[in-house]
A and B are shown apart, each in its own frame.
Chain A
Amino acid sequence: GAVVSQHPSRVICKSGTSVKIECRSLDFQATTMFWYRQFPKKSLMLMATSNEGSKATYEQGVEKDKFLINHASLTLSTLTVTSAHPEDSSFYICSAIPTDLPYEQYFGPGTRLTVT
């Protein structure tokens, strides 16, 4: 089956620093990937749509200059949290849509970010 990986699975960083999270589709190409955020005991909220070769589309209320998304290849999207603050601590999950199976969507295992 299709596999999406995320790296790292857990990261702790200090306030003010930047951290990069990778989302990879391991056995398929994905023109479109999504980044979601989940706060404790809350549901997943879409942050942005990552499109290969073009700029990401951000949801209302998500700062594009703070959450930098790069989708430079058909198998990799990265989310960089810049100048992280404790309120950015959350569970970040990506999903990917296979280019040749646009009706499917596969989720990564998530990345737990803690900002101290």
Chain B
Amino acid sequence: KQEVTQIPAALSVPEGENLVLNCSFTDSAIYNLQWFRQDPGKGLTSLLLIQSSQREQTSGRLNASLDKSSGRSTLYIAASQPGDSATYLCAVRPGTGRRALTFGSGTRLQVQP
């Protein structure tokens, strides 16, 4: 059974800092890995999706990497802003069979102005 772990569970940084969020998964047979943002009481916003054959994806100040063999992904946020404050979730889709995502427990990020 796939398990997804995110570290740290919570993070508070001053504005302008670069930061790294970590995600690990136990079964490397994944189809893709996706990073989401969730604001309090809201739904999910997809940030980046990395296919299993890819090593990284970039969007603006965000960069996500994937090391499938070691079961790890990182989300790098450059020059953090207060508006980046949210919970960040990583989720993996299995390589075969059903297509539901398995989510990590999230990292709650607070960027202090």
Which positions in A face B, CB cutoff 8 Å? 32, 34, 36, 41-46, 49, 57, 91, 93, 95, 97, 102-103, 105, 107-110, 112
Cα–Cα distance between A12 and B46 once the two chains are bound (Å)? 28
- Extra contacts, 19 of them, besides A91-B41, A107-B46 (Cβ < 8 A), are A32-B99, A34-B101, A36-B103, A43-B89, A43-B106, A44-B44, A44-B89, A44-B91, A44-B101, A44-B103, A45-B103, A46-B102, A49-B98, A57-B98, A93-B43, A97-B99, A102-B99, A109-B43, A112-B41
Cα–Cα distance between A49 and B104 once the two chains are bound (Å)? 19
Asked, given contacts A43-B103, A44-B89, A44-B103, whether A110 binds B43 with beta carbons under 8 Å apart, the answer is: yes
**B46: nearest residue on chain A (CB-CB)?**
A107
Interface residues on B, range: 20 to 34
A46 x B100 contact (CB < 8 A):
yes
Set of chain A residues within 8 Å of B100, measured between Cβ atoms: 34, 46, 49, 95
Please tell me if B68 contacts chain A, counting CB pairs below 8 Å: no
Total cross-chain contacts (CB, 8 A): 45
Chain B: minimal CB distance from A41 (Å) = 8
Chain B: minimal CB distance from A84 (Å) = 20
A107 x B99 contact (CB < 8 A):
no
Q: Which of B82-113 contact A (CB under 8 A)?
A: 89, 91, 93, 98-106, 108
Chain B 13-26, CB within 8 Å of chain A: the 1/0 string?
A: 00000000000000
B99 x A105 contact (CB < 8 A):
yes
Chain B 29-41, CB within 8 Å of chain A: the 1/0 string?
A: 0011000000001
**B31: nearest residue on chain A (CB-CB)?**
A103
Chain B: minimal CB distance from A108 (Å) = 6
Chain B: minimal CB distance from A96 (Å) = 11
Please tell me if B61 contacts chain A, counting CB pairs below 8 Å: no
B43 x A43 contact (CB < 8 A):
no
**B90: nearest residue on chain A (CB-CB)?**
A43
Asked, given contacts A93-B44, A107-B44, A108-B43, whether A43 binds B104 with beta carbons under 8 Å apart, the answer is: yes
